[in-house]
Structure 1
């Protein structure tokens, strides 16, 4: 077992205190999440693997040291062993600045994402029981209705940006409805959540807007409960406090929106640009769920999760991990681990062992809802825009790295304006 060697990077910062690679005379990590790294994430993973193996020392925003878990097996090891790697960020051996863009996703809150053991079980039960109350048939009807509304808004022009006008809008329309909120909240919440997960200088303020919005929602539903997710959390037998309800609403909103928006955008891109998908879908050899599964392998909607810390001194991937060190779950990196995918062009249809929704006790409890929104939304759009096609050359499409995810910046398309759907189709 070795302490961390000098990592691959692009610029050398001043030595930060508490660096996980400081022992034994090893060189300090360098910043790896700068513009050069973001332009080619796959190349970055390959360089880090060649230099360090399945776990690599890195620096994130503010030169904060962490370990990036690159291996598929190693990611599962971290996810499935809470006795070694906790979700409780209070054990972290770092103190962040008050304006750090890491805070919205790492600052401890009274919610299941930062709990283990019995407390995690109590909080997760409230969320899973409430999610189970979602009527799946009704959910798909609402997705279809909102998807048709969005198509109606763009249909007459014969052109659209499917990221801005569809993928970014549909999940929030569905979520706000099922939270018991009016549609007017949607656009501002879209902007705030996307800013939070980008890790921008304004992410703390955006997080505050989401928190305040959820606080107001809890107060309203205490007085006037309804048939919605918020009211179900309030009335759950676990007896959640208002703070716990607010934070779980925030968590569910962010975890439900960001991955689903990215999944819709990435699926539409692959359908429009990848001959395997276009040919198979039109020829009936591949279902849309098959296409979604391939996307979850190749372009998981969340690239990494900054949600684990070492409880004690331990070992992972041949490196000495110290108590309190932060580990970044590399979902995208683990999905392309050569140990499990030596041929990245091979079909992964029917194989759900990807890391897109995490695994173990903290596996995403609402993944089937996200799949349903993406599947139904994409199917509705493709069913109406029959001859949809890219409006720009494929090489002009740009992917933007945004802290925990990689987003398609835009997806310009052209199509023949469709007929207006009958009222009963909406």
Structure 2
């Protein structure tokens, strides 16, 4: 029997008004589980399995601000939602809770759910027009050129700590490299690097200042659009502006923001999660070192076990419907549980069985809104990890793997730090082996976009490279 807002198949009280009705699995006496807070921070995978046992492939939850929503836990259910935009739309203007005033204006969900004129929040022909502009502009990037470019930045970052014999690979490498790459590929001035890195981290973590951080990013990108209209370069922003889809200024800004934040977040987490697996899983490292598994195959294993985005907010029901035996009401929000779907026992009954090389995971979602820049992210991640392992082959954790701390944000679960030690390199030799073959990327006009010349803060000058200043700024020294 299907439960309604006025009765309950198991005799328990019906959910309060505004809370999604559901058919219980069994059901928790405490009501919907919060998808944020200590329980998620402590062990999100365990929470997903608890919800799966109680509710099946879809579970009622509360998101930030105790707003009711549905968490999609099943692999097939995630594909069903992502592949059927006529039932589950990306248009957040359908969100009933927001339309009826039950989402506070300072809710940290708003920067990632508030409707904007971009392909990620549209369906149908208009979404296709915008997505074609993004994908065709991304496809103009030369993958081999990107790899050479990533190697150069990776080497410079490694040079900054190679002589010390220790480093925090989250703060010193994984959390920095993607932003260095993406700001350049977009065509931004180097001077934006530190502020954009800080703002991006703050926004995706859903802090109290997430809205202000989002505003800073938007302002910086508006300045970029204005500058590139005056002086186009060989970069993503210029290609997007010149595309035949004729995007308006706000459309340009929002798509640049989408690409920047998605690429930074997913690629940084992918690098960190891969390094974490290499350092904590001896079998994984042995297969990689022994040639039984290539680095691209290893990345796919990580994308199954520790996807960069654990969840995606969201989809909205276009009408009353049913999913995995649960009644979904028109305007309900659904959160795609990518990590939970990848661990679904229905498709992975034994999670210890390797799946490296298998790209059928949910890490980049699916359907018409599947991530269009996933191959660029893969190129940045595997090139960066390869450069690091090649130069520092004896990397080892300085703490027990169980002591590592994780931070759970709106979109992801990320390492707070990844402290390692290794044999220090001779300070006199650091950088010398790469100087001839890897000149400063800032001087390579064939690879790098033209820097912003208008609307941006002046590029810092002096004998210290800007990326070293960025690292010092991150570390607070």
TM-score, scaled relative to structure 1: 0.95
Q: Quick one: distance in 2 between partners of 1:255 and 1:178?
A: 14
Q: Pick one of 347, 358, 380 that aligns with 1:351.
A: 358
How far does residue 29 in structure 1 lie from its aligned partner after superposition? 2.1
Name whichever of 385-394 and 124-133 sits farther off: 385-394
How far does residue 272 in structure 1 lie from its aligned partner after superposition? 1.0
How far does residue 54 in structure 1 lie from its aligned partner after superposition? 0.5
Equivalence for 1:34? 37
Q: Is residue 365–residue 371 contact of structure 2 (8 Å, CA) maintained in 1?
A: yes
Q: Secondary structure at the match of 2:133?
A: helix
Q: Quick one: distance in 1 between partners of 2:239 and 2:112?
A: 25
Q: Quick one: distance in 2 between partners of 1:302 and 1:422?
A: 34
Equivalence for 1:381? 388
Q: Is residue 3–residue 21 contact of structure 2 (8 Å, CA) maintained in 1?
A: yes
Equivalence for 2:167? 160
How far does residue 189 in structure 1 lie from its aligned partner after superposition? 1.0
Q: Pick one of 354, 367, 377 that aligns with 2:374.
A: 367
RMSD: 1.7
How far does residue 30 in structure 1 lie from its aligned partner after superposition? 3.9
Equivalence for 1:21? 21
Q: Quick one: distance in 2 between partners of 1:362 and 1:76?
A: 11
Equivalence for 2:336? 329
**Could you give the per-residue CA deviations for residues 92-146 of structure 1, whole angstroms, max 9, x where no partner exists?**
1012211110100000000000010000100000000100110111101110000
Q: Is residue 64–residue 108 contact of structure 2 (8 Å, CA) maintained in 1?
A: yes
Q: Is residue 4–residue 56 contact of structure 1 (8 Å, CA) maintained in 2?
A: no
**Could you give the per-residue CA deviations for residues 196-223 of structure 1, whole angstroms, max 9, x where no partner exists?**
1111111001100110010010011111
Equivalence for 2:448? none
Matched, 1:79 2:82: yes
Q: Secondary structure at the match of 1:40?
A: helix
Q: Quick one: distance in 2 between partners of 1:314 and 1:166?
A: 45
Q: Secondary structure at the match of 1:181?
A: coil
Q: Is residue 312–residue 336 contact of structure 2 (8 Å, CA) maintained in 1?
A: yes
Equivalence for 2:116? 109
Gap runs ≥5 in structure 2: 6-14, 439-477
Q: Is residue 22–residue 328 contact of structure 2 (8 Å, CA) maintained in 1?
A: no
Matched, 1:424 2:427: no
What pairs with 1:203-352 in structure 2 (closer than 5 Å)?
Answer: 203-352=210-359
How far does residue 22 in structure 1 lie from its aligned partner after superposition? 8.3
Q: Quick one: distance in 2 between partners of 1:105 and 1:4?
A: 31
Q: Quick one: distance in 2 between partners of 1:326 and 1:160?
A: 41
User: Number of residue pairs matched?
Assistant: 416
Q: Quick one: distance in 2 between partners of 1:105 and 1:32?
A: 16
Q: Pick one of 120, 132, 143 that aligns with 2:127.
A: 120
Q: 1:37 to 1:22 in 2, by over 3 A?
A: same
Q: Quick one: distance in 1 between partners of 2:41 and 2:276?
A: 19
Equivalence for 1:10? none
Q: Quick one: distance in 2 between partners of 1:176 and 1:391?
A: 32
Q: Quick one: distance in 2 between partners of 1:294 and 1:279?
A: 14
Q: Quick one: distance in 1 between partners of 2:148 and 2:23?
A: 57
What pairs with 1:66-215 in structure 2 (closer than 5 Å)?
Answer: 66-95=69-98, 96-215=103-222
Q: Quick one: distance in 1 between partners of 2:357 and 2:40?
A: 32
Q: Quick one: distance in 1 between partners of 2:138 and 2:255?
A: 12
How far does residue 17 in structure 1 lie from its aligned partner after superposition? 4.8
Q: Which has the larger radius of gyration?
A: 2
Q: Quick one: distance in 1 between partners of 2:332 and 2:247?
A: 30
Q: Secondary structure at the match of 1:422?
A: helix
**Structure 1 residue ranges, 4+ long, deviating more than 3 angstroms after superposition:** 1-5
Gap runs ≥5 in structure 1: 6-14
Q: Is residue 16–residue 64 contact of structure 1 (8 Å, CA) maintained in 2?
A: no
Q: 1:4 to 1:275 in 2, by over 3 A?
A: farther
Q: Is residue 395–residue 421 contact of structure 2 (8 Å, CA) maintained in 1?
A: yes
